[in-house]
Structure 1
Amino acid sequence: MQQISIWEAETFYAPQDIIIIGAGFTGLWTAFHIKQKYPSKKIAIIERGSTPDGASMRNAGFACFGSLTEILSDIATMGVSKTMQLLNWRYEGLQQIRQYFNDTAIDYYNYGGYELLYTDTPLEQLGEINKLLYGITSATETFVLKDDLIEQFGFAHTNHIIENRFEGALHPGKLMTALLEKVISLKVQILFGTELKSLVEKSDHITLHTADKRILTAQQIIICTNAFSKVLLPDAPIVPARGQVLITEPIPDLPFKGVFHFDEGYYYFRNLDNRILLGGARNTSFETEYTLDAITTFPIQQALERFLNNVILPNSNPTITHRWAGIMGMGPEKFPIVEKINDRKFCAIRLGGMGVALAPVVGKLIAEMI
């Protein structure tokens, strides 16, 4: 074990009631809700990166809970009950974000969400889905057909547009910063650059061994490492899935705002300061995107550019200024894994690419188990 000073031993490496592994949105919201319930508990969060490492800071900044075709796909996979529960959690999570943080502070813009359709088939179930969503949004029509917007927005190869006024966009970096400030103010300790190598469960505590040969102890641990959870939970039904993004140069008089979905949510884009932020296309090459490598690749970026130039901005070919990738946690279904593994170990993982909306609720669910 690497030697530490008495000062470090009594502060940064002091025994904790709870150690949370992962300082992304899930880990931070979990710490926040536990502190709300148990203000006196000593809580620390360890994070392997110098900043939160994973999808939390590498997403597209959508504050959404799902498009019509995504919902229909999820019902086919999980059934109506689970899908509605998941949508309710996403919707509630967005409400929590706005409850605890000022819209201006996190660049939250409730411009609405839209889905582009090239086929009539999903519209056959529009009324039924709206009936199901009434219990969540209290709106008789959560999804509204707005085909008149196609020409206004300038999209090509689009037969229908569906509007959802309950969706918006935010700045993940500013939300992360605000959330960090909040949990630190509650006396939660955060150790960045601390990679967990192994843990040992004992009768009265858990010992955590770090990559730099330091030791931490806790009464309980909560694993919030999402796509990176296989090392700690080898049997968990979760696989990493890479999401790639690009951003264009500023485009004068960009005619639309809001967040946009296409093809069951596999493509998504938004107006970010008159630039187009576009992500997705994972469904064009599923196998290559089941990876932990957070790098962009030519085939996916090419697919995104084709969609940009053929559908969003026909025949425009704007310059791309930024590209990046983030790693999401997926599985055989999108329902998150929020579990008490035993009396000392818990997990909150597999957020299915909807961590921004789900993390506040998932954190609260874990707090209720403690």
Structure 2
Amino acid sequence: MDAGQHYSFWERETFLAPCDLIIVGAGITGLSAGLFFKRNCPDARVMVMERGLFPTGASTRNAGFACLGSITEHLSDLEKESESHVKDRIRRRYEGLRLLKKELGEGQMGYDPCGGYELFRSTASFQKATAEMDRFNRWMEEITGQSLVYEARELEGYPMIYNRLEGALHPGRMMQALIRRAVEQDVEIKWGVRVQQIEEEGVRLDDGSLLTASRVLVAANGFSHRLLPDIGITPARGLVLVTNELKQLPWKGTFHHDRGYIYFRNIGSRLLIGGARNVAEEEEETDQFGINSRIERELIRFVSRVLRLQEGWQVEQRWSGIMGFTASKTPILRRVNSHCYVAAGLSGMGVALGMEVGRRAARMIES
């Protein structure tokens, strides 16, 4: 659209009429914020803007894990944070997943309550983790009301810790379900629209057009720094690989290794594996999609040497997604100025946290 175009009377009365709320980013957080805001303020005009033809940051490009965090991740966090902070993070993940399943329905997003495993290659690391298992089981009972969530197991010759409350889902189906819910609530979604900057009157698009809104929420996660460079969110690229269909695949369920840096699961008879971002962490602090060959080699080496798949396996699909991290791993949810708000920095846990962060953002804006 030409910025100098003379808009018609009809366009100004309808498409270009002022919004009560414009949300930048149609991922889990942005769409959820629109859904809950519109539910509580049914007469408001709410518009969500997404630069892609569908959500393309991390919401549809993650590995499809509905997880709470491994014991080694929690132990690593406890070296830097208080027990109350770590426990609160687990609680928010659990409550976020409950909300997601309640709002969308497990069947609509292909949810599989398969449980989650943490794989250990070191006996010492396994013993250190199992020594803390009773402690984390007490935490989980306090948070979820369910006892003995974690238990020690063995699979394919490796010691494991199993979490029975975790599961897997289909991110594409999840987002389709969320889009349907938002549209049913009369949230307007505009695809293929790039927001250039936030202004006092609303948002300026990259073609120069101005869309007016009394309030703007930036919910672009790993891309939020483009609009709010001082917000304290670092983009982080993640790599995912998927193999060909395999006649034998012993790895059924969701798995984490090395404090969650490596993760893998089955998709039917295929293996999905991702992560290893810590192999080249600084290189991956980017919001540009792409494949890091060093990380890909590390993941392939892990499949060959640790998972020991049958001969003839190969990588058939590969892609990257862009996450947004904060220094504390806690999402940023605050008012930036009189008309602009931010809800971003999900720190790799968008599936678990995104909808709850969106709901909290809606409440913040309403108040």
1:35 Cα deviation after fit: 1.5
The residue that corresponds to 1:248 in the other structure is: 243
SS in 2 for 1:287: coil
SS in 1 for 2:247: coil
1:75 Cα deviation after fit: 2.3
The correspondence for 1:72, drawn from 64, 75, 80, is 75
Question: Quick one: which amino acid aligns to residue 181 of structure 2?
Answer: K
Taking the aligned partners of 1:8 and 1:82, their CA distance within structure 2 comes to 50
8 Å CA contact 1:70, 1:265 repeated in 2: yes
The residue that corresponds to 2:188 in the other structure is: 189
Comparing 108-117 and 309-318, the one that deviates more: 309-318
Taking the aligned partners of 1:60 and 1:198, their CA distance within structure 2 comes to 31
1:315 Cα deviation after fit: 6.5
Structure 1 residues 206-232: Cα deviation after superposition (integer angstroms, max 9, x where no partner): 231101221101111111011111122
C-alpha distance 6-86 of structure 1, shift in aligned 2 (>3 A): farther
**TM-score, scaled to structure 1:** 0.93
1:83 lines up with 2:78 in the alignment? no
The residue that corresponds to 1:27 in the other structure is: 30
8 Å CA contact 1:77, 1:333 repeated in 2: no
Comparing 321-330 and 340-349, the one that deviates more: 340-349
Give structure 2 stretches of 5+ with no counterpart: none
Residue identity (%): 40
8 Å CA contact 1:243, 1:326 repeated in 2: yes
Question: Quick one: which amino acid aligns to residue 141 of structure 1?
Answer: L
8 Å CA contact 2:202, 2:215 repeated in 1: no
1:271 Cα deviation after fit: 0.7
The residue that corresponds to 1:53 in the other structure is: 56
8 Å CA contact 2:53, 2:191 repeated in 1: yes
Structure 1 residues 13-36: Cα deviation after superposition (integer angstroms, max 9, x where no partner): 220000001111110011111122
The residue that corresponds to 1:2 in the other structure is: 4
8 Å CA contact 2:23, 2:47 repeated in 1: yes
1:139 Cα deviation after fit: 2.2
Taking the aligned partners of 1:8 and 1:304, their CA distance within structure 2 comes to 51
SS in 2 for 1:323: strand
**TM-score, scaled to structure 2:** 0.94
1:194 Cα deviation after fit: 1.2
The residue that corresponds to 1:138 in the other structure is: 145
8 Å CA contact 2:118, 2:255 repeated in 1: yes
Taking the aligned partners of 2:283 and 2:345, their CA distance within structure 1 comes to 19
C-alpha distance 323-186 of structure 1, shift in aligned 2 (>3 A): same
Question: Quick one: which amino acid aligns to residue 306 of structure 1?
Answer: R
Instruction: Report 1:173-184 matches (<5 A).
Output: 173-184=172-183
1:314 Cα deviation after fit: 5.0
**Alignment length (residue pairs):** 358
1:285 Cα deviation after fit: 1.3
1:200 lines up with 2:195 in the alignment? no
1:267 lines up with 2:257 in the alignment? no
Question: Quick one: which amino acid aligns to residue 2 of structure 1?
Answer: G
Taking the aligned partners of 2:115 and 2:50, their CA distance within structure 1 comes to 34
Taking the aligned partners of 2:133 and 2:267, their CA distance within structure 1 comes to 29
The residue that corresponds to 2:280 in the other structure is: 285
CA RMSD of aligned residues (A): 1.5
1:348 Cα deviation after fit: 0.5
Question: Quick one: which amino acid aligns to residue 229 of structure 1?
Answer: S
The residue that corresponds to 1:106 in the other structure is: 109
Taking the aligned partners of 2:55 and 2:80, their CA distance within structure 1 comes to 31
Question: Quick one: which amino acid aligns to residue 23 of structure 2?
Answer: I
1:92 lines up with 2:92 in the alignment? no
